[in-house]
Amino acid sequence: MESAADVSSPPRDGQSFRRRLIGFIAIGEVGVLAAMALLIVFFWLLEPAFLSERNIRAILNVVSFVGIIAIGQTILLVAGEFDLSVGSVAGLSAVVAAKLMTAAALPVTVAILGGIGVGAAIGLLNGVIVVRLGIPAFIQTLGMLFIGQGLIQVVTGGYPVYPLPEAVSTIGSADLAFGLGWSFAFFIVAAILADFVLRRTVLGRNIYATGGNQEVARLVGINTSAYKIGAFIVVGALSAIAGMFVMADLGSGGTSIGSGWELTVIAGVVVGGVSLFGGAGTVAGGVVGILMLKVVQSGLVVIGVNSNWQQIAVGVIMVMAVGLDIVRRRYFIAGA
Amino acid sequence: MPAQEPLLSAIAIAKSFGGVQALRGVDFDVVPGEIHALLGQNGAGKSTLVKILNGVHPVGSYTGAIKLGGKPVSFASPADARSSGVGYVPQEIEVLEQLSVAENVFAGRTGLGDGMLVNQRRLEQRAGEIFADLGIGIDPGAYVASLTSAQRHLVMIARAIVMKPRVLMLDEPTASLSGTEVDALFAVLRRLKAQGVAMIYITHRLPEVLAICDRATVLRDGQVAVRIAREDFDAETFIFSMSGQRLQRLFPEHAAPVGAPTALEVRNLTVAGHSGAVHGAKDINLSVAAGEIVGLAGLLGSGRSEILHGIYGRVPAEGEIRVAGGPVAIGSPSDARAAGIALLTEDRKRDGLLFNLPVGANITIGNLAPLSRRGVVRGGLERSSILAAMRALNVKASSPLASVSHLSGGNQQKLLFARVLMRAPKVLLLDEPTKGVDAATRHEIYRLVVELAEKGVALLIVASELEELIGLCDRCLVVADGRIVDEFGRGEGGEDRVLRSVAAAQTERHAKASQVSA
């Protein structure tokens, strides 16, 4: 009621500019991008080596692994659920694939598909249990985090799977452009595709509706269970893919692949404006959020800050980002 | 009106939101023991005035002065207003579902002022005393989750009364209540009035003003249009001063179609009840012809909404449903939609609007198939069909990208109409289509309903306001305790007939029950 928005008076020039400005600021990614630009300049002024080719490449390489998972996590968060088991799933899928190509001597392609299959199957299991049995995602996926960690030890006996076939290292060490390999290429393509799906397709719109209000979505004929389970499967499969890219990068099926990623991924996408309550955020935002976290971490390393302080910085940034997002929504979007 | 000193008075209140003047110098006062109606269409400034008077809009955000008991006051927050003796019962039900009734009544003060510990027994005892005093028949130990929305509203009123307010503001307190519950609420208000509480009563329902209020102030465009004393009360005057024009006729004319084919036929529909307080529906048989408007009359909780939900597949139901003669199996809302059935839900905030999506996407959600190619939404086509739908239904929003939370209740409702009509349904189920909308929108909705009927849509409507239902519908079915107990056509009965049928059904059931137990 009584607000500026429902008065359809013809906008004057000043008003229309103001409205456009507000519209611009209201786009979630812009704020994060601006903050990131400031941080980059800050680190560069303190230490020009921050923008060295080597450092940029290192940042982008790390972002590509976690970013692949962030894409899935963003979709799942928009659908109104989240997954804490992504790191475990990444690690488990990697060691399973590694075992399939070594101990079981299967062709590399088949082994990789097997690894992705493990990730997708865990996603399906998470989804079915959360949606059909009504166990909260927090509990189910936290449980799966521990189960996955245990299974990694069971599969490997606690030792990294090594050596892997030549083909795997070839994938890991490929240099497509600027020293970036297949993982970065996959990350970019998947991000663009997923962003398009959320923004422009019926599927995407239905995911927003599902996360916004599940009952409303059901009443307009959307199969919300299928969307949620589907989103869990996507997260599982993307986690598996990220895990295998790390494995290729390392040239071994290490038992610590993916360890601790779950919180980095959630912190990153939340920094990028993806709502923990569902229904809001974009893949572009989530990916930019992850990038920003990694810029900060790397910047602190480059300017020589003790590593303990890096963790503190990540925590502070996440809380600040969400705080700023709430302020932004209140003042610019709500218009009051 | 006794020439008493006003207890609360607002002097020359003005407030604007981002360049839009919501209030332009409003004078308003209320005296002890008075129920003062505050009327006006949505957007007239009623809510803004109330929010200023109870501190939601803090001092400094408006101009003008507020006096309480003759002394100037400035409220920085609702808590500030509350502790000064100004209570407020909002329109939306805001209860803590997981807590007991007593804990809700004393929410924020469960220590009862003696320490950190909560004494559950004393809490319930105190709540029980308040309920007894007000004549409210709710168990203070019950969980709020098990209450009906009417009972929840009474809990909220009790919560405001606990603070012993000298001034009590009620924002559309009857929006979710049905006839007998309104009577119960009025009894409570009369007791408070006798205790000298000054009350500000915001409503869209004129009969209530006539029934209980002592004085009325009508706002229009942020100004006081007129102040009316009880002896001059008249529904026409209210409508005239609220709208600035005389509404011609409340209900547009419509005649039941003759010999039209049956569009919806329901046989032996049974819906299970839930959470104790709400009845299901048993063995419902009804049919609606194409172009016919049929109403389901009955009290809140009688099972009327459950019938609509059962037909739409929102809740599990048994029975046979035929659309345009052909049997359809409905296991979910999407089955119902595929069969050409659409449902407008009762509670816009809970199961109508998607607050994370803008106005436009709220209209097209669920209707995107014809607006897309290979799963990709065609932006231009979507935008043009949104604009067409907004024009057709007179949805007033600054743009399709505006936030739905900014729209008035009436515009939100028209938006939801636009959503359900986009698929051109053959059967339209409307659950309280005019709940919480202003008089002008109400009239627009009546016209829309009749227009749809003339186009051959079969309409099945649930509404708590009997006058509305009887005025609008070609035929009324009376629902009591989950069964259809009476049926009459246009002109064959009025509100009294519905109430008598319900009472007769309840008496009969009571008699049967005592026979069984005897």
pLDDT at B191: 87
pLDDT at A314: 80
Gap between the Cα atoms of B65 and B321, Å rounded: 61
pLDDT at A1: 37
Give the helix/strand (H/E) hosting A78: helix A53-78
At B279-338, the pLDDT tens digits run 688 899 999 999 999 999 887 667 888 899 999 999 889 999 999 989 999 999 999 999
Cβ contact (<8 Å) for B372 and A202?
Answer: yes
Give the helix/strand (H/E) hosting B488: strand B483-489
Residues B14 and B132 in one domain: no
At A25-73, the pLDDT tens digits run 555 577 778 888 998 999 999 999 899 989 999 999 999 999 999 999 9
Residues B435 and B484 in one domain: yes
**B352 vs A contacts (CB less than 8 Å):** 216
Residues B68 and B129 in one domain: no
The region of weakest confidence among A111-115, B413-417, B467-471 is B467-471
Residues B214 and B313 in one domain: no
Closest chain B C-alpha to A204 CA, distance in angstroms: 9
pLDDT at A116: 97
- Quote the mean pLDDT of chain A: 87
Gap between the Cα atoms of B246 and B239, Å rounded: 7
Q: Where are chain A's structural domains?
A: 29-330
Q: What is the mean pLDDT of residues A309-336?
A: 71
Residues B140 and B56 in one domain: no
Cβ contact (<8 Å) for A213 and B355?
Answer: yes
**B313 vs A contacts (CB less than 8 Å):** none
**Would strands B63-68 and B223-229 be described as parallel, antiparallel, or unpaired?**
unpaired
Burial A182-219 (b: 16+ CB within 10 A, else e): bbbebbeebbeebbebbebbbbbbbbbbbbbbbebbbb
Instruction: Indicate whether A106 pLDDT > 60.
Output: yes
**A15 vs B contacts (CB less than 8 Å):** 19
- Indicate the residue of A5, A208, A213 with minimum beta-carbon distance to B403: A5
At A142-165, the pLDDT tens digits run 999 999 999 999 999 989 988 888
Range ranked top by mean pLDDT from B106-120, B196-210, B265-279, B333-347: B333-347
Instruction: Indicate whether A289 pLDDT > 70.
Output: yes
- CATH numeric code, A29-330: 1.10.3470
**B350 vs A contacts (CB less than 8 Å):** 215
Instruction: Indicate whether A245 pLDDT > 70.
Output: yes
A19 — pLDDT class (breaks 50, 70, 90)? low
**A334 vs B contacts (CB less than 8 Å):** 403, 405-406
How many DSSP H helices and E strands does chain B contain? Answer: 17, 22
At B446-461, the pLDDT tens digits run 999 999 999 999 999 9
Residues B223 and B336 in one domain: no
Nearest CA in chain B to A219: B333
Overall residue count recorded for chain A in this entry: 336
Residues B55 and B22 in one domain: yes
The answer to whether B210 contacts chain A (CB < 8 Å) is no
Cβ contact (<8 Å) for A212 and B355?
Answer: yes
- Indicate the residue of A23, A208, A222 with minimum beta-carbon distance to B357: A208
**B312 vs A contacts (CB less than 8 Å):** 219
Cβ contact (<8 Å) for A223 and B352?
Answer: no
**A275 vs B contacts (CB less than 8 Å):** 356
Residues 6+ apart with CB under 8 A from B445: B413, B414, B417, B433, B434, B437
Listed by number, the residues of chain B in 34-93 with a beta carbon closer than 8 Å to a beta carbon of chain A are 42-43, 45, 47-48
Listed by number, the residues of chain B in 389-428 with a beta carbon closer than 8 Å to a beta carbon of chain A are 396-398, 401-403, 405-409, 411, 419
pLDDT at B333: 95
DSSP 8-state symbol, A10: P
Is there a domain that residue B343 lies in? Answer: yes
Is there a domain that residue B409 lies in? Answer: no
Gap between the Cα atoms of B312 and A257, Å rounded: 49
Q: How far is CA B90 from CA A264, A320, B56, B372, in A?
A: 41, 33, 11, 41
Domain containing B143 equals: 93-164
pLDDT at A336: 32
How open is the CA angle B341-B350-B108, to the nearest 5 degrees?
Answer: 165
Domain boundary residue among B164, B186, B217?
B164
Closest chain A C-alpha to B251 CA, distance in angstroms: 26
Is there a domain that residue B386 lies in? Answer: no
Is there a domain that residue B407 lies in? Answer: no
Q: Which of B223, B344, B356 to mutate to test the interface with A (most CBs of A within 10 A)?
A: B356
Nearest CA in chain B to A3: B17
Is there a domain that residue B300 lies in? Answer: yes
In this structure, what token pair is assigned to residue B473?
A: 């519908």
pLDDT at B275: 47
Say how many CB pairs under 8 Å bridge A and B: 133
Gap between the Cα atoms of B266 and B280, Å rounded: 16
Closest chain B C-alpha to A143 CA, distance in angstroms: 26
Instruction: Indicate whether B391 pLDDT > 90.
Output: yes
Instruction: Indicate whether B234 pLDDT > 90.
Output: no
**Three-class SS string for B192-230?**
HHHCCCEEEEECCCHHHHHHHCCEEEEEECCEEEEEEEH
**Three-class SS string for B407-444?**
CCHHHHHHHHHHHHHCCCCCEEEEECCCCCCCHHHHHH
Q: What is the mean pLDDT of residues A298-308?
A: 87
Nearest CA in chain A to B362: A209
Helix, strand or coil, per DSSP, at residue A107: coil
CATH, residue B27? 3.40.50.300
Residues B55 and B122 in one domain: no
Is there a domain that residue B321 lies in? Answer: yes
Domain count, chain B: 3
Domain boundary residue among B130, B147, B164?
B164
Q: In whole angstroms, what separates CA B57 from the centre of its chain? A: 24
pLDDT at A24: 53
Q: What is the mean pLDDT of residues B56-62?
A: 87
Helix, strand or coil, per DSSP, at residue A284: helix
A13 against B368, higher pLDDT: B368
What percentage of chain B exceeds 90 in pLDDT? 38
**B405 vs A contacts (CB less than 8 Å):** 334
**A219 vs B contacts (CB less than 8 Å):** 312, 314, 333, 343, 345, 351
Cβ contact (<8 Å) for A220 and B376?
Answer: no
Residues B340 and B450 in one domain: yes
Please state whether the predicted TM-score (pTM) of the whole model is above 0.95.
no
pLDDT at B452: 95
pLDDT at A233: 98
Nearest CA in chain B to A11: B398
Domain boundary residue among B134, B164, B194?
B164
The region of weakest confidence among A182-196, B21-35, B102-116, B169-183 is B102-116
Cβ contact (<8 Å) for A216 and B352?
Answer: yes
A69 against B465, higher pLDDT: A69
pLDDT at B257: 84
Cβ contact (<8 Å) for A3 and B368?
Answer: no
Is there a domain that residue B455 lies in? Answer: yes
